[in-house]
């Protein structure tokens, strides 16, 4: 049975998972196991705090997309907190930033959906959090 292995903190009733510094084939399964364990507990909305994540390779991208698809089907949403430009760029190149709400600050992700802005320019569809990835 899958279990929670990454730090999870409940804030305002929303689980916040702190992701590792790198998301790659060696640990992406553990991240997904954590999400699945929270899903079994009835948590449809989930925040993954990736502000210290410096690398999310191609193994992590489908896990994030699947997590968002599941959350939406359950009436929730996956929200990502990302500060590193390299991670934002990887998600943008793969189009994940068009599917998953991305915030630059944890409190923005917890407060709910603010106006949509692009991770690149601060306008248009895509990432959320108008203060930019390094604000």
pLDDT tens string 95-111: 999 999 999 999 999 99
3-state DSSP of 42-74: CCCCEEEEECCCCEECCCHHHHHHHHHHHHHHC
Q: Does the pLDDT of residue 112 top 80, yes or no?
A: no
**Tokens 């954590």, residue located:** 34
The residue count for the chain: 135
Q: CA-CA distance, 90 to 92, in Å (whole number)? A: 5
pTM of the predicted model as reported, rounded to 2 decimal places: 0.80
Number of other residues whose CB lies within 10 A of the CB of residue 42: 8
The reported pLDDT for the residue numbered 4 is: 58
User: What domains are defined for the chain?
Assistant: 8-111 (3.30.750.24)
pLDDT tens string 11-54: 999 999 999 999 999 999 998 899 888 888 888 999 999 999 99
Joined tokens for residue 34:
């954590």
């Amino acid at each position: 049975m899958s279990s929670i292995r990454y730090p999870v903190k409940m804030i305002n009733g929303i689980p916040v998972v702190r992701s590792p510094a790198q998301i790659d084939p060696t640990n992406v399964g553990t991240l997904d196991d954590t999400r699945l364990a929270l899903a079994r507990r009835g948590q449809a909305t989930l925040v993954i705090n990736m502000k210290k994540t410096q690398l999310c390779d191609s193994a992590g991208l489908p896990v994030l997309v699947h997590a968002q698809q599941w959350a939406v089907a359950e009436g929730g949403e996956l929200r990502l907190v990302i500060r590193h430009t390299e991670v934002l760029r990887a998600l943008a190149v793969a189009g994940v930033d068009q599917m998953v709400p991305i915030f630059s600050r944890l409190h923005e992700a917890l407060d709910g959906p603010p106006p949509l802005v692009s991770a690149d320019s601060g306008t248009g569809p895509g990432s959320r959090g108008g203060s930019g990835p390094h604000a």
